[in-house]
Structure 1
Amino acid sequence: MSLPRTGPVRSEAARLAILEATAALFAERGYEHLTIEGVAARAGVGKQTIYRWWRSKGALVAECLLEGLLFDDRLALPDTGDVRADMQAWLTTVFAVIDAEPGLVLSLLAAAAEHPEVGARLRDSLTGSASISGRLDAAIGSTTALRPGVATEQLAEALIGAVVLRALSRSSSDADDAARLVDAILGDAAD
C-alpha cells in the first residue's frame, strides 16, 4: 500500500503554462537570457512553483526539449530512406543549433549530471526505437548502410558523444564535419 501524496498537487494546466512560457521565451531571447523570473511572470505562476517541479533552468529547458516544444521538428531525425544522408542532415542541423545556442547543450549536460532522471530521459529520447539507434537498426542490411550484427546502440552513443564533445569544446561545425563524423562512426560509405 502506498502512502498518500503530501504537498501541493501538480496542476497540469500550470505545468503546460510553464513549459509554453519557457519555449516562448527561449525562442524570443535564447537560453542565456532565459530566466525563471521571466518564465514565472509569463506563465502566471510563482517562482517557487517552478522550483518545486524543476530544480534548475537546465532541467526546465530539458523537459521542454524532450516535450518537443523548443525546436518544433527541426531536431527530429529525417527519414528519407538513406540513413547516411539522414544522419548527415540531422548532424548539420544539430551543429547549427549548438553554434547558435552554445549554452543550451551545456545546460542540458549540467541538468543531466545534476538530475539522473533528466539524463535518463535524454538518453532514452536519443537512443530509443524512434531515434538514432532505432533508425540504425532499421538500416541494417540495406545497401547504403550497416552490416548485420553491428551494435547500433553503441554507434548512437558514439555519435551523441561526438556531438557532446563538440558542444563542450565550443568549436563550430559545418556539413563537411557532419559527413566526416557519419563516415567515422558508420564506416566509409559503400561504393
Structure 2
Amino acid sequence: MPQEPNPQRRSEKSRTAIIEAALELCAEHGYGHVTVEAIAARAKVSKKTIYRWWPSKGAVVLDALDETVNPAIAFPDTGDLRADLEAQMWGLLHGVMTEPRTGRALTGLIADTQHDPDLARSLNDDLIRPRADEARARLTKAKTDGQIDPDADLDLALELLYGPVYYRLLLHQGDLHTRAELGKLIDHVLSALAPEGKALARSPALDQDH
C-alpha cells in the first residue's frame, strides 16, 4: 500500500520555503516593500499557512535571520582575543550586514522595531542578546586570562566595539571595507581595556589590507 504523506515533512518544506522567500524578497525589493502576500506567493503557500506560524512579516524575517546568521557570526576562542574579535566581527560585517539577503532584511527589521514593541523584544531576545552573551563570555575569559583589565566594564566594551558597526549600517555611513579598518577599531577599544602598565601588541594580520 502507498505510504501516507508525512505532514511534518511537508510542514518543514513549507516553512523553509517561506523563510527563503522572505530573505529573497528583502534582497530584491527591500524590507519595507515586502508583504506577507508576496512571501506567500513566492513560497507557493497560503497566507493562512504563514499566519499559523508567525504573527507578522517581521516575525518571519526575524526567524529567517536567526537561522541564517549563526554560522557567519559564531564567536571563536583561539586564545588570541584580538584575532577572535577580528574573525567574529568580520563575519558579522561581510557575512551578514553587506550580504544582500541578510543585510537588507536586518536593517529593515531594526527600523520596524521602532514602532513595534513586541517585535523589538523578540529581536533582542532571539537575535541580539544571545550573540551579545557570547561576546561577553569571550571578554570575560580574556579578563580571567589577564588579557584585559580586571575592572573593565564589559558591557561598555561591547558598545564600543559594535556601536560603530551598527552606526555605519543604519545611518548609511559605509561599512568597514577592510580588515585594516576593522583592526583600527579593535585596537582603539582594546587599548582602553588593557591591564594597567601592559600594552596589547598589535596583530600583524591587522596591519594588512585584506
Question: Residues 111 and 119 of structure 1 are in contact (CA less than 8 Å); yes or no, is this contact kept in structure 2?
Answer: no
Instruction: Give the aligned length.
Output: 174
Counterpart of 2:183, as a letter, is A
Task: Give the 3 Å change call, closer, same or farther, for CA 108–157 of structure 1 in structure 2.
Answer: farther
What CA deviation, in whole Å up to 9, does each residue of 1:96-142 have, x standing for no partner? 132232413312312433223223213312222xx111111111043
Query: Counterpart of 2:165?
Result: 163
- Segments of structure 2 that go 5 or more residues without pairing to the other structure are 1-6, 193-198, 202-210
Task: Give the 3 Å change call, closer, same or farther, for CA 125–46 of structure 1 in structure 2.
Answer: same
Query: Counterpart of 1:24?
Result: 20
Q: Secondary structure of the residue that 1:33 maps to in structure 2?
A: helix
Q: How does 1:20-99 map to 2 (within 5 A)?
A: 20-25=16-21, 29=24, 31-33=26-28, 35=34, 36-37=36-37, 39-41=39-41, 45-51=45-51, 53-56=54-57, 58-66=58-66, 69-71=67-69, 73-96=71-94, 97-99=96-98
Say yes or no: does 1:175 pair with 2:179. yes
Match of 2:154 among 147, 152, 155: 152
Question: Residues 107 and 170 of structure 2 are in contact (CA less than 8 Å); yes or no, is this contact kept in structure 1?
Answer: yes
Root-mean-square deviation over aligned CA pairs: 3.1
Task: Give the 3 Å change call, closer, same or farther, for CA 92–16 of structure 1 in structure 2.
Answer: same
What CA deviation, in whole Å up to 9, does each residue of 1:61-104 have, x standing for no partner? 222222xx214512212221212111112222222132232413
Cα separation, 2, equivalents of 1:116 and 1:62: 10
Task: Give the 3 Å change call, closer, same or farther, for CA 76–30 of structure 1 in structure 2.
Answer: farther
Query: Counterpart of 1:4?
Result: none
When normalised by structure 2's length, the TM-score is 0.67
Query: Counterpart of 1:100?
Result: 99
Task: Give the 3 Å change call, closer, same or farther, for CA 46–40 of structure 1 in structure 2.
Answer: same
Counterpart of 2:161, as a letter, is L
Match of 2:132 among 120, 127, 146: 127
Cα separation, 1, equivalents of 2:56 and 2:124: 16
Question: Residues 62 and 123 of structure 2 are in contact (CA less than 8 Å); yes or no, is this contact kept in structure 1?
Answer: no
Say yes or no: does 1:116 pair with 2:120. yes
Cα separation, 1, equivalents of 2:155 and 2:99: 28
Counterpart of 1:95, as a letter, is L
Task: Give the 3 Å change call, closer, same or farther, for CA 25–116 of structure 1 in structure 2.
Answer: closer
Cα separation, 1, equivalents of 2:158 and 2:171: 20
Higher fraction of helix: 2
Counterpart of 2:140, as a letter, is D
Say yes or no: does 1:139 pair with 2:142. yes
Query: Counterpart of 2:195?
Result: none
Task: Give the 3 Å change call, closer, same or farther, for CA 71–19 of structure 1 in structure 2.
Answer: farther
Cα separation, 1, equivalents of 2:130 and 2:15: 18
When normalised by structure 1's length, the TM-score is 0.72
